[in-house]
Amino acid sequence: MLIFTCKIDAAATDRHPDLTLQLTAQDRTRSRHRFDHPNGTALFLQLPRGSHFHDGDLLQTDDRQTILKIEAKPEPLLTVTADSPLALLQAAYHLGNRHVPLEITTDYLRLEPDPVLKDMLHHRGLRVVEEIAPFHPIAGAYKHSH
Domain boundaries of the chain, sorted by first residue? 2-72, 75-133
Residue 145: band (very low, low, confident or very high) from pLDDT cuts 50, 70, 90: very low
The CATH code for residues 75-133 is: 3.30.70.790
Listed range (14-23, 112-121, 136-145) with the worst mean pLDDT: 136-145
Structure pTM?
Answer: 0.86
The answer to whether residue 129 scores a pLDDT higher than 70 is yes
Average pLDDT of the segment spanning 48-66: 92
The answer to whether residue 140 scores a pLDDT higher than 90 is no
The answer to whether residue 146 scores a pLDDT higher than 80 is no
Residue with more model confidence, 131 or 12: 131
The CATH code for residues 2-72 is: 2.60.260.20
Pairing mode, strands 19-23 and 75-81: unpaired
Residue 102 contacts by C-beta under 8 Å, 6 or more apart in sequence? 92, 95, 96, 109, 110, 111, 137, 138
CB atoms within 10 A of CB 57: 19
Residue 10: band (very low, low, confident or very high) from pLDDT cuts 50, 70, 90: confident
